[in-house]
Amino acid sequence: MLFQLLGIKERREQAIRNALAKNAQLMQLTQREIEAAEQKRSALWIEWYQACHEFTGTVDRRHLTEWQETLRNYQTEDNDLGLQLEKHRTHYSHLQEEEIDLRQQLRVAMISQEKLNYIIAENKMQR
């Protein structure tokens, strides 16, 4: 019976390790998404800056309206990227918290297995 319980605890440990591995993959993916969004936002800022300095001197009404629309589009895209970054960072933070929780669960499972192994070893010595 103790060996069955040990088998259950070993499967639990393996399940936790699998969850940790999956969590690590999700963290890497989320980190890449954050980096990609930051790069895209940086490129957007450069384009936006250049668009802000596009016109000098006098401009007719139609060009001014088009330029204002372009700048509004940059603003909207920047806001969208900012929200996307915030979402990814929040998700990454949750994944970090989950990793801490899983590592704690793993420690508890391993301690429990060690205790059970000790009990099994003691039972063998008494026989």
CATH code where residue 99 lies: 1.10.287.1490
Would you state the structure tokens that stand for residue 124, as one six-digit string?
């063998």
Which domain range does residue 16 map to?
A: 2-126
- Which regions in the chain score pLDDT beneath 70? none
Tally of structural domains, the chain: 1
Task: Show the CA angle centred on residue 85, arms to residues 90 and 42, nearest 5°.
Answer: 150
The pLDDT of residue 54 is 79
In single-letter form, the type of residue at position 75 comes to Q
State pTM to two decimals: 0.81
SS3 84: helix
Angle at the Cα of 57 (from 52 to 59), degrees rounded to 5?
80
Distance (Å, rounded) from C-alpha 116 to C-alpha 25?
32
